């Protein structure tokens, strides 16, 4: 399977996540038409060639955990960026009930 079109779809979707909201890796995979590709979404985020225009820091694990952030500062920086955008946390996890991106498909 050629990953380039999938990755481009993921980048387009990621750019639609508004400030103050997050999406999960699995959610983006489902929206891209491949519900079993959450790990591929993670790989896509790791090689994001267009940050910050493509805000990969707004993508989190299914339970709201902050997993992986390859930019300088790592997860600490990711959390700071999300907090500055108004994302709600419950401890170290994003409160998905308040800050999860609700998208109509």
- The tens digit of pLDDT for each residue in 53-87 reads 899 999 999 999 998 777 778 899 999 999 999 99
Residue 39's pLDDT is 94
Please list, in sequence order, all residues whose beta carbon lies within 8 angstroms of the beta carbon of residue 58, skipping any fewer than 6 positions away.
14, 17, 21, 22, 23, 82, 85, 101
The domain at 3-96 falls in which architecture?
Orthogonal Bundle (1.10)
pTM: 0.91
Band of residue 104 on the pLDDT scale cut at 50, 70, 90:
low
Q: Give the start-to-end residue ranges of the domains of the chain.
A: 3-96
In the residue annotation, 56 being an active-site residue is answered as yes
Choose the catalytic residue: 56, 61, 66, 82: 56
Among 5-14, 24-33, 72-81, 87-96, name the one with the lowest average pLDDT.
72-81
Band of residue 49 on the pLDDT scale cut at 50, 70, 90:
confident
Asked if residues 25 and 41 have their Cβ atoms less than 8 Å apart, the reply is: yes
């Amino acid at each position: 399977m050629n990953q380039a079109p999938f990755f481009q779809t993921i980048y387009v979707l990621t750019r639609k996540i508004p400030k103050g909201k997050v999406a999960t890796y699995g959610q983006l995979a489902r929206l891209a038409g491949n519900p079993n590709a959450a790990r591929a979404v993670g790989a896509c985020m790791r090689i994001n060639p267009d940050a910050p225009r493509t805000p990969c820091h707004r993508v989190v694990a299914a339970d709201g955990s902050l997993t992986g952030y390859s930019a300088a500062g790592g997860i600490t920086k990711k959390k700071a960026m999300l907090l500055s955008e108004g994302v709600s946390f419950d401890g170290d996890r994003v409160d998905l009930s308040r800050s999860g991106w609700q998208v109509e498909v």
